[in-house]
Amino acid sequence: MSDRCIPCEKSKNWIELDFRDENNQSYEGFDITIEDASGAIQTVNLTSGINHIEDIASGPVKVTIDTQTLIDVVEDRDKRLDSETSLVPEFAKEALGGPEQNQSKKYLHATLGDL
């Protein structure tokens, strides 16, 4: 490789994130940081529903949220009763995403303790 040339990473991919509480309500109004496999970093202010983020290099993606901000937002929400079933897994299974709204979603269950 030439000393005048650096490897380029094609950042033509995208990711969609939809953060929801256990009552299937979207979170919004705080910043998340996305770091792609090339090390490129984007900060996005979370909006309600699907957040479509473009210019992502292929490979693993790291999503970072300020811990205290997340705790404050989560603790402000009503908790689901133990006797109630979460609606989120079924919502994720049925809802489609992607540029043409034809992509299946991947559901990831996480609690504050996991983070």
Give the number of domains in the chain: 1
20 vs 46: CA distance, rounded Å: 11
What are the backbone angles phi and psi of residue 112, rounded to the nearest 5°?
A: -60, -35
Domain CATH number, residue 85: 2.60.40
1 within some domain = no
83 within some domain = yes
Mean pLDDT of 29-40: 94
Q: Is the dihedral of CA 45, 33, 51, 36 positive or negative?
A: positive
Please list, in sequence order, all residues whose beta carbon lies within 8 angstroms of the beta carbon of residue 46, skipping any fewer than 6 positions away: 17, 19, 27, 28, 29, 30, 31, 32
pLDDT at 4: 66
51 within some domain = yes
Please list, in sequence order, all residues whose beta carbon lies within 8 angstroms of the beta carbon of residue 90, skipping any fewer than 6 positions away: none
Provide the strand spans (E) within 9-68. Answer: 13-17, 31-35, 41-45, 51-56, 62-65
90 lies in which domain range?
13-104
Better-scored residue on pLDDT, 4 or 63: 63
Which pLDDT tens digit goes with each residue over 58-99? 999 999 999 899 999 999 999 888 899 988 988 888 888 877
